[in-house]
Structure 1
Amino acid sequence: MGLFLLWLLFGIGIVIQGVYLLVIFGRTAWFKSSSKSHSSENSPEGVTVLVAAHNEFQNLKTLIPKLFEQDYPKYDVMIVNDRSTDRTKRLLEEMMEKYPRLRSVTVKYTPNHVTAKKFALTLGIKVAKNDVILLTDADCIPSSDQWIRKMTAPVREEGKTFSIGFSGYQEKSGILNRWIQFETLLTALFYLSFGLWKAPFMGVGRNLCYRKSFFMEAKAFKGFWHLEGGDDDLFVNTYATGKNTGMVIDPEATTTSIPKETWKEYLVQKKRHLHAGKYYRGEDKQKIGLYSLSHALFWIGGIGLLFYFGFGKQWEHFLAVCGIIVLRSLLIWSIFRSASVKTQGNAVSSNAPVNDFFYLVYFWVLGTVSHQAKDIKWK
């Protein structure tokens, strides 16, 4: 009975994982871009690049000049100075003299009934000059001077309400950075692949575009003002559909952020991100939950069978299970490598097969802690 149960768990895990890896994640890993070129007319629709910043002096000093290197004829940049106590205000005053299309609005306090970042973003969107809003964070850098043109194309040219892109992290040495690369790409495989399957359920605020008119019509973040986080994924989860959302998979349309340097900082960040997940629609929770459950079944069943056949010296069965695990690891490696090239232009080192095993602990432990957490904060 015990052997049958192990085979059952292992078999269910193999089948469901195969569907996710080949059918769903394969949409991103083996994505073929459309031959349609984006319009390059001299008078396209205007775009406002929006950044909410709290004590981001150093990052803004780097970001603002980069934003004004964009090859797009009609755009401005709005920086929301959210209660900063560093030199952000002085920097913005100096930068606005240098860059006429740079604008700023200051948040002096946050009302008690709303969370800081949502209030800052709402204020910035309300005063934005253009209807097309392109969001990023202060610690992000566009991957090319085509970022605005390509990220906003589905909204400007195809009549979409949302445009969702990839945002990665700088590649550095060390175990933490390789884990960050792995987890970031796995998350992207979820939201990009389901988006390509006309079932979008999240996006990242580091690289997200939507219309101001829709935002105002939806009454901003109505229903989750009180939640830390969710200004990106919950907003998309609530309103994005297969018809009104476009996915942008292009190395020139990404942004790159500064990764956390310590495990403590990283876990605090991820706890905030995962906490928002419990407010997703039921069917969207199932998309992630079914993958994670089948992932656990695969590893629990597989390891159990290895111990059973190893102790019983049934080497043919032992090698058969090993072979299946190795084949899946090779598939994981191939998908992550290909998806990295599609989204970032190069194969970022992530130790995908190894980190795939440790994801078992990461998801179930940190996910449970994040689900129950009450001390979530932005800054």
Structure 2
Amino acid sequence: MGLFLLWFFFGIGVIIQGVYLLVIFGRTAWFKSSGKSSKTNIPEEGVTVLVAAHNEFQNLKVLIPKLFEQDYPKFDVMIVNDRSTDRTKRLLEEMMEIYPKLRSVTVKYTPNHVTPKKFAMTLGIKVAKNDVILLTDADCMPSSDQWIRKMTAPIREDGKTFSIGYSGYQTKSGLLNKWIQFETVLTALFYLSFGLWKAPFMGVGRNLCYRKSFFLEAKAFKGFWHLEGGDDDLFVNNYATGKNSAIVIDPEATTVSIPKETWKEYLVQKKRHLHAGKYYRGEDKRKIGLFSLSHALFWIGGLGLLIYFGIGQQWEQFLIVFGIILLRSIFVWNIFSAAAKKIQGSTPPMNVLVNDFLYLAYFWVLGSVSYQSKDIQWK
């Protein structure tokens, strides 16, 4: 009976993992651009780049000049100064004298019934000059001077409401950074691939674009004002569809963020991100859950069979199981490498095969803790 269960677990895991890796994630890994260039007969629509910042003096000092290097004729930058106690206010005043298209609004306090970032973002969106809103964070940098043009094109030119892009992290030395690179690409494989499949379920606020008019009409944060986080993925989860959304896969349309330097900082960040998943639609929870369950069944069944056949010196069966595990590992490595190259133009060191195994603990331990947690914070 035990051997049957191990084969059953392993078989189910192999089949479902194969579907995810080849059919779903393959959409991103082997994505081919349509080759369409921007439509030249459409007037350039104004864009507002929106950044909500709390005590981000050092990052804003670098980000603001970088934003004004963008090769796009009609845009402004709105910085929401959210209760900052550092030199942010003085910096913005100085920068506004240098950059006429830089604007700011200050949040002095947050009402009790809302969370700080959602309140800051809502205020910024309400006073934004343009209807096309492009979001990023203070610690993010556009990967090229074409970022605004390419991220907003589906909305400006194709009538979409949402434009969902990729945001990666700087490559640094150390095991933590390799894990961050791996987990970021894996997350992107989920939301970019399902988006390409006309079933979008999340986006990242570090690189997300939508229309102000839709946001205000939908009262976009209604229902999850009280949640820390979710201003990006829950908004997309609630309102994005296959018809009103577009996925932008282009290395020139990405942003790059500063990664966490310590495991403690990283775990606090991921707790907030994973907690938002608790409020996804049921069908979207199942998309992630089925992958993670099949991933666990694959490794539990596979390792169990290797141990069983190894102890019993049944080397023919041992080699069959080992060969299947090796084949999946080759697919995983190739898909992750191809996806990273496709979406960000390079393949960062990710320790793909080791981190693929460690994902078991990440999802089932940290995911469970985050799901139950009530002490989630932004800043």
| 2:221 match: secondary structure | coil
* Aligned partner letter, 1:25: F
Number of the residue aligned with 1:125: 125
2:173 is the alignment partner of 1:173: yes
| 1:356 match: secondary structure | helix
Number of the residue aligned with 1:150: 150
Q: CA RMSD in A?
A: 0.8
Number of the residue aligned with 2:140: 140
Worse-matched range after superposition: 268-277 or 41-50 = 41-50
| 2:177 match: secondary structure | helix
| 2:44 match: secondary structure | coil
2:206 is the alignment partner of 1:206: yes
Contact kept, 8 Å, 1:43 with 1:73, in 2: the verdict is no
CA offset digits 1:8-67 (Å, max 9, x no partner):
000000000000000000000000011110135694000000000000000000000000
Give the whole-Å Cα distance in 1 for the aligned partners of 2:353 and 2:161.
36
* Aligned partner letter, 1:4: F
1:127-276 to 2 correspondence within 5 Å?
127-276=127-276
2:69 is the alignment partner of 1:97: no
The structure-2 alpha-carbon separation of the partners of 1:276 and 1:309, relative to structure 1 and needing over 3 Å to count, comes to same
* Aligned partner letter, 2:50: L
Alignment TM-score, normalising by the size of structure 2 = 0.99
Give the whole-Å Cα distance in 2 for the aligned partners of 1:210 and 1:322.
47
CA offset digits 1:171-199 (Å, max 9, x no partner):
01110000000000000000000000000
The structure-2 alpha-carbon separation of the partners of 1:240 and 1:42, relative to structure 1 and needing over 3 Å to count, comes to closer
Contact kept, 8 Å, 1:43 with 1:74, in 2: the verdict is no
* Aligned partner letter, 2:92: L
* Aligned partner letter, 2:197: W
Give the whole-Å Cα distance in 1 for the aligned partners of 2:89 and 2:42.
34
Give the whole-Å Cα distance in 2 for the aligned partners of 1:372 and 1:305.
33
Number of the residue aligned with 2:314: 314
Contact kept, 8 Å, 1:42 with 1:73, in 2: the verdict is no
**Count, aligned residues:** 379
Number of the residue aligned with 1:63: 63
CA offset digits 1:235-265 (Å, max 9, x no partner):
0000000000000000000000000000000
* Aligned partner letter, 2:366: L
Give the whole-Å Cα distance in 2 for the aligned partners of 1:35 and 1:136.
26
Contact kept, 8 Å, 1:115 with 1:227, in 2: the verdict is yes
How many angstroms does 1:113 deviate by?
0.2
| 2:105 match: secondary structure | strand
Number of the residue aligned with 1:45: 45
* Aligned partner letter, 2:315: W
2:287 is the alignment partner of 1:326: no
Give the whole-Å Cα distance in 1 for the aligned partners of 2:36 and 2:269.
38
| 1:105 match: secondary structure | strand
Give the whole-Å Cα distance in 2 for the aligned partners of 1:40 and 1:159.
15
Number of the residue aligned with 1:10: 10
Contact kept, 8 Å, 1:143 with 1:254, in 2: the verdict is yes
The structure-2 alpha-carbon separation of the partners of 1:234 and 1:42, relative to structure 1 and needing over 3 Å to count, comes to closer
Give the whole-Å Cα distance in 2 for the aligned partners of 1:259 and 1:131.
31
Contact kept, 8 Å, 2:42 with 2:157, in 1: the verdict is no
Unmatched segments (≥5 aa) in structure 2: none
CA offset digits 1:269-304 (Å, max 9, x no partner):
000000000000000000000000000000000000
Alignment TM-score, normalising by the size of structure 1 = 0.99
* Greater than 2 Å deviation, 4+ residue runs: 39-43
How many angstroms does 1:348 deviate by?
1.2
Give the whole-Å Cα distance in 1 for the aligned partners of 2:352 and 2:116.
35
* Aligned partner letter, 1:316: E
Give the whole-Å Cα distance in 1 for the aligned partners of 2:277 and 2:269.
14
Give the whole-Å Cα distance in 1 for the aligned partners of 2:48 and 2:242.
25
CA offset digits 1:114-165 (Å, max 9, x no partner):
0000000000000000000000000000000000000001111110000000
